[in-house]
Structures are given as structure tokens and as C-alpha cells.
A and B are shown apart, each in its own frame.
Chain A
Amino acid sequence: MMKTFGVLGRRALLSAVAVASLAATMPAMAQDASGELVILQWLGGSEGEMWTELGNDFVAKNPNVTIREVALTVQGDARGPMRTALLGGERVDLIINTWPAFRAELASAGVIAPIDDVWTERGWDDALDASWKALSQTDGVTYGVTYTYGNRSGIWYKTSHLADAGLEPPQTWEEFLAAIETLKQAGYSTPVAMPAKYWAHGEWFETMLLRIGGVEAAARLAAHEIPWTDEIVKTTLRKYAELLNAGCCGTPEQMFAGDWDYAADQIFTADAANFLLMGMWVNGRAINDYGLEEGVDYSMFQFPSMGMGHDDTSSVDAKEVLLTANSANPDAAVAFLDYLVSTDATNILAEYGYASPSKNADTSLLGPVQQVATAAVAQSQVQFVLGDLLPGDLVDEYRVQLQRFLQDPSDANIDAVTAAIEAKAMEVY
């Protein structure tokens, strides 16, 4: 074990060597890539299938390259299996990642290589805006290429539920609370499906935090530049309490009983709930698992405006591909990164319902709900999902304390909950 860590410790040096070798082989990269390209792959379901298709298309365009996926079996957080694979000596060229905190960890251990020079050489600025480049940076150094992103401030609903209750998608916080009341009167005991079994109850807090404190406050909180006992956090929880006190979500026991997939079932198949604040993967589930027609049977609206000065903000997630410092085939790896921002790759992404940040993407290929989400993000100041920015220790405590808040959303408990998260943050940072 320690030997392996020794190897990792030397990866900082290897990283520098890798950068030098990348620079040295730059002219060669412009040529056809060849050899085996190894990708650390942890995505499953339709997203995993999409990756297989991306790989096949890349190989068709680069016949001298073969792709091997180091496929990880994942339930829950994929970072554990990814770390195990890397510590176990798996040598891969590319790593798929979605956690900025994990990227920082990989960069600090010298596992991934900076790609700023390659970025300039390949002219990726033409395809990706500076904000997308910034999203893949740690301490100002670029390590990855973002290939997809998702809106995390969209609320899913079944169109028939609102139509039957005579409602339009609510635009403001007050309209939203009123819609909850109307739906309760229409017989829905829990209009908002609140999946608080593991992590998904944090989605509401995170978007409300943005709407109340703005992206800057959220970023500062993620970096612990402001404490968790700050008034912005407490105000956010008080707003969250308004939602709970409006009888949105049933008892805490009902909220703790299920994860996001159970919550989605409650809306789309059981017709027992109406609203779900969740990421874009719900779209794939609605189409593939429930057999619903996008934009007809279901849709989404952006989180209602709260009138607190930051209604132009949205929470987003993104996935990127990172180049490893000990890549055995950097030519093919860079060629693949280049391919990911191409029109062909973005068309495959769109076919599977994933939005690409690349300017080469044809957004008209996206489904109607994806277009709503893409337009909402385009018009927003965006901030990465808070839970994915926090260190592992803290995010665990943060989610448990939010569960305690759901049990008792009183002002006194808000003080206790924020103090507990802050105490953990003091240990971690």
C-alpha cells in the first residue's frame, strides 16, 4: 500500500515529465493517432452506452486507435472505486470526472496533467467559452475538457397534473407556494417529492442559496471563505423552512424513505407527487423507463424567482475528461479530447439527450425539455453544484445536518444545524 502511495507521490514529478513530453510531441499530435487508448469509465446505463458509441465513432475516424475501457462497477459515489483503481496501478490515459474537489485531489497527487498548452495548440477556445474552460480549472490550471453539462435548478413536473389542477408552471416563489396549496386541495398530499434518503434534499438548499446569496456567496461558502453560520446560509434555510411549513413534502420520515429515483416514480408513475428538483438524468429515465414523451407528457420549469436579487442564477453540473500524467498514449488521448468538442461527438451526445457546451453543437437536435434547460443555463450566472465542491468529510456532515433540519425547521434548529456544519468545516479546511 505504501509503495503505491510512493508511486503516487512521485506523480508530481511524472506530471512535469508528462507535460514536457506532451509539448515535445505536439507536432506529432496533429498527425493521425494510433495505439491503445485507455479510459477510466464509471458511467452506466444509457450514459455508458453513449460512451461506447462515442468510442466507436472515434475509432472509425482513427482506425489505428483501439479503445479499452477500464469499467468500474459503481453504486453510489464513484470516487472510491476510481481511487482504488488508480492506487491499484491501473494505467489509464483519460479519466471521466464530475467532481471539482476530486479533480483537485488528482491534481495534487500528480495523477493528471495540465493541458493549457494543448488547449492553445488545438484551438479549443474556438469551441468552448472561457467559462467552460474555467470550470475545468484547479488553481487556475486547466486539467480537463468539459463535454456535457446539466441544469440542476430545473423543476420536473407531469403536464397533466398541472393542467388538471388548472395551474401554469409557477414563475415566482409566491406562485410556487400557492401552487402547492392548490395541488394539496386537488388531493396530492405531498406536491413536492423530496428525496432525502441520501443527498438529493441538498438540491433545494443549493439553488435557494444561489438565489439568495448569488454565485459569489456560494463559491465563498464552498471555499469556506464565509462560515456556515453566515446570515446568508440561515436566510436560505429559513426560506427552505417556508416550503416545508407550506406542507410541501409530507413528514420527515416520508422524505427520508426514498432516493431521487423513488421520488421520480412518485410523480411519473404513481401520480402521487408533482414537483421534483433534480438533474437532467431524470430526462433519460422519463423517456426510457417510463416511456413518456418529452415536452408532451412531462416538462420542466426553472426554479421560481425569489425576488432577493439573484434570480438570474442557476446551479449546474458538468462532466469533463482529464488527461493523466502517466498516459501511455497522449497523442490518442489528446485526439479524443479534440473529438469530444467536434460536431460528430456533440451529435451523439444530443442523440442520448445530453447537452454539450461546444459551439460546434447543434442545439436543435436536443429534445424540447433539454432545450428549455439549455436556454435557462445560457441565460444564467452559473455555479457548480455545491455538494460536489465540498471536501468529502464536510459534504457528508452537511447532508446529515440538512436531514436534521428537515426534522425540525425551526429557527433554533437552524442555529444548531449551521453550527454543526461549521464545526466540521473548521476541522476539514
Chain B
Amino acid sequence: MAAPVALPATDRAMAKSSRTPVGQRKLPHQPGRRLGDVPAAAILLIPVLILFGISVAFPLVETIRISFFDIRGLAAPKFVGIENYFRLFADPAFRNTLWTTLVFTLSTTAISVSIGWTLAMLCNFAPRETTVFRVMIFAAFGVSEAVVGYMWVSIFRPDVAGLLNSFIALFGMPGFAHPWLGDPQTALLAIVISASWGGVGLPLMLCFAAVQSIPRTVLEAAYMDGAKPLSVMRHILMPLSMQGVRVAIFINLLGALRAFDIIFVMTGGGPVRSTETVGYFMYRESMTQFKLGYGAAATVVLLIAVLVISIPAIIQRTAGAK
């Protein structure tokens, strides 16, 4: 049991007089009624733990458990141990999704974070004048991936109704018109562009906040020393906003790894599985084929990938916490 906590002298005096410094009545202190740190923490944590258990821990444990079963449609489940995992890594379709996921994740993260970061630094030169611009870009981050997908499908449509091909024709280059989403060579690129467009807003805001937190004195000193805007960007803004960039990379990586909606809407994983990520594979196996055990095994693999990225980042970010 935790020992009763001793009150500081001033508190003791106030408790004795039962009055606050401004003369309001205060409830008398009742020794022995006060909870210790551990029970208080427990009371505060229990609701969160219950919620966490229902919404995170139970589904997680259940998914891992199901991954050891062969479940096909409505048929009875059959325990197969780790066979699903062996089959998964022997499945060329799954191996292909690993590569596609890697390309998609790194590309969208690199594009959206670098654009967001650059825009943040540019906006820093005229913060007030670029407010509307920043709000507009950030608004795209609030749009659901499915809506972003539908919007970009209409841009990449292969016929004249497609915005991109219409522009190409308008500039007198009809030979460059292309069925962007129908070509295995360009479909993934088209999705990366679409996802990056939707993902620029968050890095912009995070990096802008990081840039804004740089003391003005540092920038003023640089200008007094004759630094040009490009050197200020290169030698001050970039290195001192790295904290925001790291957070943006971390969040974008996790989001891109789990990508599903935009792929479902734009290509359905095709053509010829060229845009199928682990997230889409998981959906296809679990919900279309209803091979719940196999799909759960893919889910566990994705979960491990997410943990590999997030645990070091979480440890690094919380290491200084007391």
C-alpha cells in the first residue's frame, strides 16, 4: 500500500482554516479518504484499458489466433498451425504485394513529405499571405481516400472524358494520351501521385509548425550576416525543422503501409495484380475469397511491418519522457 501523501505546509494551513486565499469556503480535508497513486492511476486507467481491450487487444489476439486456422467460407475452421504463413511466403501473389507495398509506401512518403516540407519552408517567408493556401492544401488531407480515388479516376480516365488526356490533346499531343490506370507500367505511378496529392497536407502542417518554432532571433542573425533566402532554407530552416519532418515521415509511412481504399477505388489491385498491396491482398483473401485464416496471416505480417517501423520511432520519441 502506498503511504499517505504528506501535504505541504501551506496546504496544511489552508486545510486547517478551510478557506481559500480569496475567502471562499473549501471542503475540509478528510485524512484517510485520499487515494494513493496506484489506486488513483488504476481508476483512471481502467476505462481506457477496457476500451483498449475491446477495440485493440481482443481483435489483435483473435486475428493472430485465426491465422492458425484454415477457414474457407462458411465451412468449419481447421487448425493448421503456421501453415498459412508458409503458404503465404510461397504465394507469388503475396510476394509481389510485398514489393508493391514497399514501392508504394516509400514513393508516397518521399513525394508527399518532400513537397510538404518544401512548401512549409516557402510559406515561412510569408506566413500571413499563405494562410489560405495552406488551409486549402491541408483540406485535401481531410478528404477520404475513397473520394480522392474517385476524383483521380476521373482525371486518369482513358477516354476524352479524362482530364489528363483532355489536357494532353488540348496541347496538341494526342499521341501522349494513355490509359494510365490500365497499363501495369503506369497504374502504380498514377496511384502514387493520387495518394501523394492527398497526403501533402499533413507534412505541410507538421513541417510548418516545426519551421515556425525556430526562434526569430536565429533567422534575424542570419539575415544580418547577409544570408540569402536559399542559404537560410539550406542551413537554418532545413536542419532545424527536422523534428517535424521525422514525425511527418513516420505518420506517412504508417498510412501508406496500410493503404487500401484508394487502390480499391482506382484499380482494384489490377491490372494483372500490378497495384496489389498487402492491405489489398488482405482484403481480397479475407473478404472476397473469405479465406479468413489466410487473410489473418497476411494481416499479422502487415502488423509486424507496422510495428517494425513504429516501435523504434515510439521509443525514440518517448525516451526523454519522465
Contacts and interface: CB of A to CB of B under 8 A. Distances in A.
Interface in B35-70: 62, 66
Given A5-B77, A258-B158, A400-B272, A253 B182 contact: yes
Given A393-B291, A403-B271, A254 B179 contact: yes
Given A197-B182, A197-B268, A8 B158 contact: no
Interface stretch (A45-53, A106-114, A313-321): A106-114
Contacts of B76: 5, 8-9, 109
Interface string B157-195: 111110000000000000000111111100000000000
A9 B271 CA distance: 38
A105 B272 CA distance: 28
A392 B158 contact: no
B284 to A, nearest CB: 7
A80 B74 contact: no
Interface string B283-298: 0100111111000000
Most chain B CB atoms below 10 A, which of A1, A77, A198: A1
Interface string A380-418: 000000000000110010001001100100000000000
A272 B62 CA distance: 51
Contacts of A252: 182, 271
Interface in A1-59: 1-2, 5, 8-9
A256 B290 contact: no
Interface string A245-264: 00000011111111000000
B284 A86 contact: no
Nearest to A396: B289
Contact of A270 (B71, B73, B74, B159): B159
A266 interface: yes
Contacts of A87: 74
A79 interface: yes
A24 B316 CA distance: 70
B270 interface: yes
A404 B270 CA distance: 11
Contacts of B159: 266, 270, 272
A106 B75 CA distance: 9
A393 B285 CA distance: 9
A105 B182 contact: no
Contacts of B178: 253
Given A392-B289, A396-B284, A403-B272, A254 B74 contact: no
A9 B178 CA distance: 52
B246 interface: no
Interface string B263-287: 0000110111100000000001001
Interface residues of A, number: 39
A61 interface: no
A80 B62 contact: no
A84 B267 CA distance: 24
Interface string B202-228: 000000000000000000000000000
A197 B270 contact: yes
A257 B272 contact: no
Given A77-B288, A80-B287, A393-B289, A256 B71 contact: no
Most chain B CB atoms below 10 A, which of A109, A111, A256: A256
Contacts of A5: 71, 76-77
A396 B288 contact: yes
A401 to B, nearest CB: 9
Q: Is the interface of B mostly helix, strand, loop or mixed?
A: loop
A256 B270 contact: yes
B290 A257 contact: no
Interface in A224-276: 251-258, 266, 270, 272
A166 interface: no
Contact of A257 (B73, B179, B284, B291): B179
A79 B284 CA distance: 12
A389 B180 CA distance: 33
Contacts of A197: 182, 267-268, 270-271
Given A1-B62, A256-B271, A400-B272, A105 B73 contact: yes
A83 interface: yes
A407 B271 CA distance: 10
A140 interface: no
A109 B74 contact: yes
Nearest to A79: B290
B182 A258 contact: yes
A77 B159 CA distance: 27
B179 A83 contact: no
A253 B158 CA distance: 9
A111 B75 CA distance: 10
Given A2-B77, A392-B289, 20 more contacts: A76-B288, A79-B288, A83-B73, A83-B74, A105-B73, A105-B74, A105-B75, A109-B75, A253-B178, A253-B179, A253-B182, A256-B182, A256-B271, A256-B272, A257-B157, A258-B182, A270-B159, A272-B159, A392-B73, A393-B289
17 contacts: A5-B76, A77-B288, A83-B74, A86-B74, A105-B75, A109-B74, A252-B182, A253-B179, A253-B182, A254-B182, A255-B182, A256-B179, A256-B181, A256-B184, A270-B161, A392-B73, A393-B291
Closest A-B pairs by Cβ, 8 of them: A257-B182, A256-B271, A109-B74, A256-B182, A257-B179, A253-B183, A80-B287, A257-B158
